[in-house]
Amino acid sequence: MLDSALAFERLIKNPKAGSRESDGRTQVTWDNPTELESYINKLQAAADRLTSENRRLRKCHQKMIDKVLVHIKFYLWC
């Protein structure tokens, strides 16, 4: 999940890989619709990967919580 989060961050911080403005920032503008659409697609794909991995992590976490609760209930029952 960390790799996906870092990849998403890189896309946000550097939307046009390899290019920089004179002030050190990189911007995507409406001037080039093809470039803008490509950036949006990359950003959406990165967000989808991150979301999917986060859901998987939350599901594993919930399973662990459920197992712990079963053990606690059993312990309290004894």
Q: Is 20 left (phi over 0), alpha (psi -120 to 50) or beta?
A: beta
Tally of structural domains, the chain: 1
Token pair of 66 as six digits: 């459920």
- For residue range 24-70, list pLDDT tens digits in order: 667 778 888 899 999 999 999 999 999 999 999 999 999 999 999 99
Whole-prediction pTM value?
0.72
- For residue range 36-48, list pLDDT tens digits in order: 999 999 999 999 9
The pLDDT assigned to 27 comes to 76
Range(s) of the domain holding residue 27: 2-77
Token pair of 6 as six digits: 């870092």
